[in-house]
Amino acid sequence: MKPLSEINYKEIGLKVGLEIHQQLNTAAKLFCNCKPELFKEEPEITFLRRLRPTQSELGQVDPAAYFEFQKGVKILYEANRATSCLVEMDEEPPHPLNREAVDVALTAALMMKAKPIDEIHVMRKTVIDGSNTTGFQRTCVIALGGKIEVGEKTVPIEHVSLEEDAARKTGEEEGNIIRYRIDRLGIPLIEVATAPVIKSPAEAGEVALAIGRILRATGKVIRGLGTIRQDINISIPNGALMEIKGLQELEQLPLVVEYEVRRQLNLIGISEELRKIGANKEEIGDEFFDVTDVFRQTKCKVIRKAVDKGQRVLAVKLPRFGGFLKRELAPDFRLGTEMADRARFWGKVGGIFHTDEMPAYGITQEEIEELGKAVKAGKQDAVVFVGDTPENARDALKAVVERAREAIDGVPQETRAPNPDGTSRYMRPRPGSARMYPETDIPPTQITEEYVSVVRSRLPELPEQRLERLAKEYKLNEKLARQVLDSEHSELFEVVVKESNISPTTVAAFMTETLKALKRDGVQVEKVSNDQIREIFKGISLGAMTKEAIPEIVTWLSKHENKTVQDAVSSIGLRMLSREELERIVDSTIERNKNMIIERGANSFGPLVGMVMKDVRGKADAALVSELVKEKLEQMKKRHSTDEDSVFYR
Ligand SMILES: [Zn+2]
């Protein structure tokens, strides 16, 4: 496989477009009055629905939806009363479009110089996986044709839309039941779609970051993992347009793009080689062989289990595919992995076996030879086999055959989902174009010129302007200013600086580095409220505690919900030491370290302050400690200078 550095993205003609989805922190959901929140407890209500293939008005049925319907997949929806009502359950028509959400979307759209449309029309977009109780997702365009500046580049924004978020999957059980929790269903999402002008993985990351900053600048987004999700459209010439849906980790975006490019380049290479050696689609037959007898005595646990259950082992020959299934498309990701993903999706099997990875998993060379004879495979062929119910095994092998035929053509168009390691897996075929039709339950909403000018008159400052202002107004260096801009506590920073007398650099370092470090150490800093953080800094301003105590206070508060900063201070015993108490500690530290002082003279000042601070951390101000240490050393020096034997301060 080509190392990353060897891929010249410009030369290969990479094109990437992004669709960024961000949850909005509005008072209510998009089409009802429920709170846009998730719940952790056991559900109060559950209801079972059969997944039905939704038909668009043009009469098209999604093949994947129809397939799931045939399999009799049922959905168990979970809900509670605080986060959902009859609207989410599809028992009551949607309420009118949430105006607060429109406000936020319009604000973001204007910041991206997009042109608002005159009238908002809510549309239905077919959803096939049960994540919407209605079988469709409601979406509406708010503005078209914007642009943002990212470094030197102008990136066109195709549209800014509002959508309802989908239910979230909470489990999948045997017997074809999928669990979805509908608390997330209906949370407003703003969608920002760029034109496919991004030319490299790094640029994709920068564009996503820039859009994220603009959305956060509205002050109305929900924070935390899963609240922002990105769909990535990737294409290269001779490859295929691929959609990777639902990436949550922004930092991973460049890697996902890189791996997808590698995957497509490698698939193109495989297709060329296959054709060169004469592989053709007609040669790959739908003939499946029952090879259960070959594995009667097998030591392979998975196959053993299937055979013991009375299931079958079915196999198919892939002519001239020998060696190709183990080809890496991305790190630890092979053509065989692609076939297994397809088999899992269409056959509901746990996985597949193939001869490119044999002997392994307890399967012996003898069994492989028997298998080859049974399906009449030669050395140049690959054999794929699977143990399951005859129906599932057949569906799985059909999917494998389909994928093998596509490998001869090149790169199949797919919708994919990201894996945690940056690779992606098959999600479903690319849907046809006719997926949208009008939502008849919701009347259109006007966007008047007056309304637009009101929103325009109170636009927040753009991230780049804000960055400049933060650096200038608070004398932060560029790195720290940027960290503040991107931090979750960006707004809080300015509030705290204004109401305390602590230096902006100290506050900024807390909001960025200290909180990050605590989080890394496993402290749940998100449990500490903004008001509590303000209280802490007010306390430091008033001299009630020192800034060295901040990490301890935040840690305590994160573990004690509904307690105050005052509670934290008294519980930790963070009372500030009096000058007298502090003096005693300094004296005893000096006494204990007499030898060191005699030996090192003036150079002992630093270590002494360090030792005292370690003892009094959080209970005394560092400036006072060094003042006292200095004073005591001076006194000591004076005493000793009258003494003939003095070795002090030589
Ligand atoms: Zn509701």
**Strands annotated E in 236-290:** 242-247, 289-290
Q: What is the pLDDT of residues 157-201, one digit of tens each?
A: 999 999 999 999 998 776 678 899 999 999 999 999 999 999 999
Q: Which of 38-47, 86-95, 351-360, 597-606 has the lowest mean pLDDT?
A: 597-606
Task: Note if the bond before 331 is cis, omega within 30 degrees.
Answer: no
Residue 215 Cα to ligand 1 middle (Å): 25
Out of 465-469, 612-616, 617-621, the most confident range is: 465-469
Residue 132 Cα to ligand 1 middle (Å): 13
pLDDT at position 620: 78
**How much of the chain exceeds pLDDT 70, in percent?**
93
pLDDT at position 416: 94
Q: What is the pLDDT of residues 16-30, one digit of tens each?
A: 999 999 999 999 999
210 has pLDDT over 80: yes
Residue 87 Cα to ligand 1 middle (Å): 5
Angle between helices 201-217 and 253-276 (to 10 degrees): 150
Residue 191 Cα to ligand 1 middle (Å): 21
Pairing of strands 136-150, 188-194: unpaired
Residue 98 Cα to ligand 1 middle (Å): 12
The predicted model gives 330-346 an average pLDDT of 94
The predicted model gives 137-142 an average pLDDT of 96
pLDDT at position 135: 84
650 has pLDDT over 50: no
Residue 81 Cα to ligand 1 middle (Å): 9
Q: Which amino acid is located at 431 in the chain?
A: P
pLDDT at position 67: 67
125 has pLDDT over 80: yes
pLDDT at position 468: 93
Residue 563 Cα to ligand 1 middle (Å): 32
pLDDT at position 68: 65
Residue 44 Cα to ligand 1 middle (Å): 15
Residue 34 Cα to ligand 1 middle (Å): 4
Residue 489 Cα to ligand 1 middle (Å): 30
Which residues have a beta carbon within 5 Å of ligand 1, which is an ion? 32, 34, 85, 87-88
Q: Residue 521 burial (CB < 10 Å; 0-12/13-18/19+)?
A: exposed
Assign 60 a pLDDT band (cuts: 50, 70, 90).
low
Count of CB atoms situated within 10 Å of the CB of 640: 16
pLDDT at position 53: 63
pLDDT at position 56: 52
pLDDT at position 273: 96
pLDDT at position 644: 47
Q: What is the pLDDT of residues 554-583, one digit of tens each?
A: 999 999 988 888 888 888 776 677 888 888
Q: Which of 143-147, 356-360, 636-640 has the lowest mean pLDDT?
A: 636-640
pLDDT at position 561: 86
459 has pLDDT over 70: yes
Residue 29 Cα to ligand 1 middle (Å): 7
Mean confidence (pLDDT) of the chain:
89
pLDDT at position 1: 52
Residue 33 Cα to ligand 1 middle (Å): 6
Q: Which position has the higher pLDDT, 252 or 490?
A: 252
Give me the count of residues in the chain: 650
Assign 62 a pLDDT band (cuts: 50, 70, 90).
low
576-583 own/partner pairs: CB under 8 Å, 24+ apart:
576/543, 576/544, 576/545, 576/546, 576/619, 576/620, 576/621, 577/616, 577/619, 577/620, 579/624, 579/628, 582/616, 582/620, 582/624, 582/625, 582/628, 583/628, 583/632
Give this prediction's pTM.
Answer: 0.81
Count of CB atoms situated within 10 Å of the CB of 153: 14
Residue 35 Cα to ligand 1 middle (Å): 8
CB 403 within 8 A of CB 410: no
pLDDT at position 649: 47
pLDDT at position 32: 96
